[in-house]
Structure 1
């Protein structure tokens, strides 16, 4: 099935795809999303990551949590 990504979800996925295997902290991700109008909270980042993970189900790519550090895109 097709999954539509929202603006910030698409921007987040783009950040990960442009730097695969790089671990991004929540702070780094919120900084990169600031360009899209208003501020983004760490909780919002968690929500966006969760949505992206669901939409990537069945794909060769996934976003992993690196405990205590942040998130990174992993391509199988």
Structure 2
């Protein structure tokens, strides 16, 4: 026959909840670091694609900069 769950004392409940909060905060920190790394990789990829496009079109950086400033 199955036994019922042991009822935790208030101190045990507090300890358990505190541990869960710490674990969740650690996971959140890891997720934020992963997000930042992915954003950086996306940024680098976009810069690389832009550089390739500039080279394909035979433009210099200054020419592109001038073109973009005129578009404003």
TM-score above 0.5: no
Structure with higher Rg: it is 2
> Structure 2 length as normaliser, TM-score?
0.29
Pick the structure with more helix per residue.
Answer: 2
Report which structure shows greater RCO (CA 8 Å, sep ≥6): 1
